[in-house]
Amino acid sequence: MITRNLTEIKATLPEHVTLVAVSKTKPIVDIQEAYDAGQRVFGENKIQEMVAKYDALPKDINWHMIGHLQRNKVKYMAHFVDLIHGVDSFKTLKEINKQAKKHNRVINCLLQARIAQEETKFGLTFNDINQIITSEELSELENISIVGLMGMATFTDDKHQLQEEFSSLKNFFDTLKTQNSKLKILSMGMSGDYPLAIENGSTMVRVGSSIFGHRNYIA
């Protein structure tokens, strides 16, 4: 099932779009199956769970942290994490920088923009993002690199609303890019809305249940 789902999804993705297979809550055997089918980029939303999976699985996997970050746990993943999607404060960037430095690495990060209307979704306003990107202090953080933005749309079937949220982030991203050439990645789109996200300029989609099936508990 996993192999077939992956093959079907990959066949629909434009070449410039990276597929992050979101394996949170799923067992090692499921990830191994996706790996054997050629998938190399996996996303998790809990640091400890990702560390355990990193330890158990082939080392050429690129692990993405897509969840809300607890600063005191960044140290556990600093030696291997490939991309952190959910950065939503300068304090967190500083902590990532500090931990990356210990391992002599530069960790790639995405700033999470708040585009959903739901109150519960994390993220920075476009104004916050502008301030971080242009701040003097950022240039002192030599062990992180901000390579793009991430956004989560409202959980809704309303295509018009999704489209508005995705395109507002895409427009903002394009404006920022003209000032900062390091910005390359726009992470938006999940199982329910990734085709629409791609139509609206996404370069990276985070797909879980359409690959691995429904999760047993809310994660």
Ligand X SMILES: *Cc1c(COP(=O)(O)O)cnc(C)c1O
Structure tokens at 165: 């949220």
Check: CB of residue 145 under 8 Å from CB of residue 107: yes
Choice from 39, 45, 202, 203 touching ligand X (CB under 6 A): 45
108-147: contacts with ligand X (CB under 6 A) = none
The closest of 164, 171, 173, 167 to 117, measured between CA atoms, is 164
- Tell me: does residue 208 bind ligand X (CB under 6 A): yes
Nearer to ligand X, 141 or 200 (CB): 200
Rounded distance, CA 33 to CA 31, Å? Answer: 5
Choice from 2, 51, 66, 204 touching ligand X (CB under 6 A): 66
Nearer to ligand X, 45 or 202 (CB): 45
Please tell me the number of Cα atoms within 13 Å of 33 on its side-chain side.
15
70-109: contacts with ligand X (CB under 6 A) = none
148-187: contacts with ligand X (CB under 6 A) = 152
Residue in the structure block whose two tokens are 């050439």: 181
Tell me which residues touch ligand X (CB under 6 A): 22, 24, 45, 66-67, 152, 190-192, 206-210
